[in-house]
Amino acid sequence: MNMLIQKFHPVLRLGRRLTVATSGKPLLSRQGDWDGGSPLHCVAMALALLGKLSDPVQVWRCRDGPESRFWSRAWPHYLHGLTLSELASFVWELNCGVQPGAVKGNAAVVLRFCTQELAKGWPVIVGWHSRERAHTALAVGIEGRQRKQGFTPHALLLLDPAEAEPRLAGFNARLELSKNKRPTYVTAAATYPVSIEGAVSIRLSRPP
C-alpha cells in the first residue's frame, strides 16, 4: 500500500486557528512587508514549540519575562535580518536553554536533516533564495509516502512568517524536495523554484 502521510511537530494544535498545545496561544508570528525579520519570527515560533516562550506573537509588547528578554535581543536585527550562520550564533547567545544545530548542503541533505531533527521534536528553520529574495521559514512537518519498505519524505511543511495564517491546517507553505527535481516553494498565491541554503534546528540543551 502506498499512502501519503503528513507528520507534524507534536506540540502543534490544529484547528480554526493554529495554536501551541501547551499554552493555547496562536503560533504564527507575522513578518511585515518591508522588514527582514523572518528568521527572528521563526526563532520565536520555535521557542514557543519548545516551551521557552508562551506568546510568540506578542513578544514586543511584554515588559518582562522570557518574551521581553527575547525581544531585547531580537529588535536590533529586525530590519536587516540574519544569515543562517548569524542565526545560529543568535540562538547560542539567547542563553535560554536551547542550542542550534546547523547544516549546509543540497536539497537531499537538508531534507534528511529536517526529517531527523523533527523526529526528535526539534523545530527547524530552513533558508532558501530565489531570484527575487532570500527568505526563511519554520519547518513544522514532513510529507512523504509510506510504503512497505518505509517512509520516504519528499516535502517540508512550513510556517512562513510572510504568508497568511493557516486555517484548519498546520502549515501555510511547503517546500517540495522531490528527487531529481529542482526544489520548489509553494504557497497559496505562488509556486516558484528556489535554491536551498541550509537549515538551523533549535534543540533543548541537555542538562550538565
pTM: 0.93
Number of H helices, E strands in the chain: 4, 11
Q: Are 20 and 49 in contact (CB under 8 A)?
A: yes
Domains of the chain are 3-204 (3.90.70)
How large is the average pLDDT for residues 116-132? 94
How large is the average pLDDT for residues 133-159? 93
At 99, list the grid cell.
542550542
- Residue 17 CA, chain-centre distance (Å), reads 17
pLDDT at residue 77 greater than cutoff 50 = yes
How large is the average pLDDT for residues 83-93? 96
**What value does the mean pLDDT of the chain take?**
92
- Cell 512497505 belongs to which residue? 148
